[in-house]
Amino acid sequence: MTRFFPFALAFLLSSCAVAPSAPPRAIAGDDTRPAPAMAVTAHPLATQAALDMLARGGSPVDAAIAAQMVLGLVEPQSSGIGGGTLVMLWDEKARKLSSWDGLAAAPARATASLRTDVDGKLLPGGEPLSRSGRAVGVPGTLPVLRAVHERHGRLPWADLFAPAIAHAEAGFPIPKYLHGILAQPDGAANHAEWRSLYFDGEGRPLPVGTIVRNPAYAKTMQAIATQGPAAWLAGEGARAIVAAARRGLRSTLMTEQDVLDYRPAEREPVCAPFLAYRVCTMAPPSFGGIHVLQTLQMTAVRANGRFDFADPAFVHLYAEAGKLAQADRRRFVGDPGFVTVPVATLANPGYAMVRALSIDLARANPDPQPGIPMGGLAALESDASDPVTTTSQIAIADAAGNALSITTTINLNFGARLAPEGGFVLNNALTNFSAAPKPGETIANQMAPRKRPVTSMSPTIVFDADGRPVVVGGSAGGGPIVDYIASSLIEILANGRTPREALAAGHVSTAVAGKVQLEKGTPAEALAPGLAARGHDVQVVPLLSGLGFLKRTPEGWIGAADPRRDGVAMGLPAP
């Protein structure tokens, strides 16, 4: 983690708007400054907004909503009210863990796949379709945040929007990570929605630090704050969302009624043991949670207590476990409202042991196959698609013992590259469904009306033997999210690393079928010869994660944001 000390925070906040209430005195979330309450997000202004709500007596849910609204402004390429969100929440007073699914969903008129047109013929695939209105899912972020706030919020709904409104009106400096995305050849330069905000008259992205104002976003935030999500959507919101999704090459099949009918789903978290801990994460339609739990358990069975990511022998085991977990998720995971997912078996330690014992510790398996879990549907075909998302991560713990992890997304950078007049971005979540099934095939993740696509997003909370949260976090970064989380948990739980140490480590990923990817420019590159000698097809590539983790210590919480992005962890000092 890049350390972010109070003087740097003061400088940043002096260059842009602050919320009407005085911000609390924050301390850096590094390894030497534990705090009784802490937040980590993908941007300092969002972290500060979260701390502001905690300091005013708000819950982690209040803090997370304030942070999300700021993130929709300062990193619009990754998340916002036009996307989808997963929530994992620990209520200390009730001693209850809950999770909420607010993923973007297919509309009621959805066809068999994104490429399947209403007449049954296949549309041309590729970038134009994935960035079109046809790829926009019914947004779920606002409905799920409202539902969680109604149950766990303490501050008035309207108060949570003050930081985002203030920053949108007074301006914020363009962050380095956003600038890098805008500067890419496939960035947003050719899209009218962004030209006036982020580009100069010659089509070049404005320099890092340039103050950008988004009055349209401020107006939208004000409307949602005062009216509430349901009334805003019933008024101008749904109309604006659908109108924007009708622009472009392929018009959306979504209607205003689809937007109004959306309901978040409360789902039972899925948990499994790892060493002395209980790891809890998201159930389907997230495949990420099952993948993380399987990988942790399989490596524990065969690692003999040595979890060394500098050792090609261990990384071979880790990669083989990841490949088996991928094979299972491709065959069995989909929206549980449409397919029977054998969650209990897939996350079971006995099943993990059987799968782990099938791993050859000397040679890579060239064709890993799914297992045969009880309750699985043998007639299913495997899903060949891979989710590709930008996404953002929020993790918060308060002094009362409550904890929250949220992963939130609009999928690809800038989603469908469509923006309503309200200054936010629409997702392209329907790209996460499988390709068009062949005649006679059934795929767990094939598109259907009102169905939610699978996702690698897997917000996670880890508990100790006394049932207390000890690690809270998750990651952005597309398909490799599962690897970013699993390896970070191994480093923190098995190797005793701090979040800063764990998040700075080089990545290893098996998210691309048949490949083991090593993060370019990190010590992970050195693993290539040893893995190749064991039969792996190795690629050395950039792996842009977006991790955010908190860890409880005897003195309080410490935390870190991913050094590859603009985020920061900060805490509130003891009273």
- Read off the tokens for 90: 């620990």
Considering only CA atoms, which of 488, 104, 516, 464 is closest in space to residue 292? 488
DSSP reduced 3-state for 265: strand
Classify each residue of 85-105 as buried b or exposed e, where b means 16 or more C-beta atoms within 10 Å of its C-beta.
bbbbbbbeeeeebbbbbbbbb
Query: Are the beta carbons of 456 and 532 closer than 8 angstroms?
Result: no
Cα 266 from Cα 300, distance rounded (Å): 30
Cα 462 from Cα 473, distance rounded (Å): 9
Cα 332 from Cα 479, distance rounded (Å): 17
DSSP reduced 3-state for 475: coil
Q: How many CB atoms lie within 10 A of CB 388?
A: 18
Q: How many CB atoms lie within 10 A of CB 350?
A: 9
DSSP reduced 3-state for 454: coil
Catalytic residue among 252, 391, 409, 431: 391
Residue 500: enclosing H or E segment and its boundaries? helix 499-504
Q: How many helices (H) and strands (E) does the chain have?
A: 19, 19
Strand order in the sheet with 460-463: 270-274, 277-281, 460-463, 469-474, 548-553, 556-561
Query: Are the beta carbons of 55 and 24 closer than 8 angstroms?
Result: yes
**Sign of the dihedral through C-alpha 235, 422, 569, 22:** negative
Rounded to 10 degrees, the C-alpha dihedral 282/288/292/294 comes to 100
Cα 252 from Cα 60, distance rounded (Å): 35
Is 252 catalytic? The answer is no
Considering only CA atoms, which of 451, 425, 424 is closest in space to residue 335? 451
- Furthest-apart CA atoms within the chain: distance in Å: 65
Q: How many CB atoms lie within 10 A of CB 72?
A: 29
Q: Where are the alpha helices (DSSP H) in 75-207?
A: 127-130, 141-152, 162-170, 176-182, 192-198
Q: How many residues does the chain have?
A: 575
Quickly tell me which residue has 């982020």 as its tokens. 198
Query: Are the beta carbons of 447 and 430 closer than 8 angstroms?
Result: yes
Residue 548: enclosing H or E segment and its boundaries? strand 548-553
Cα 214 from Cα 58, distance rounded (Å): 27
Active-site positions? 391
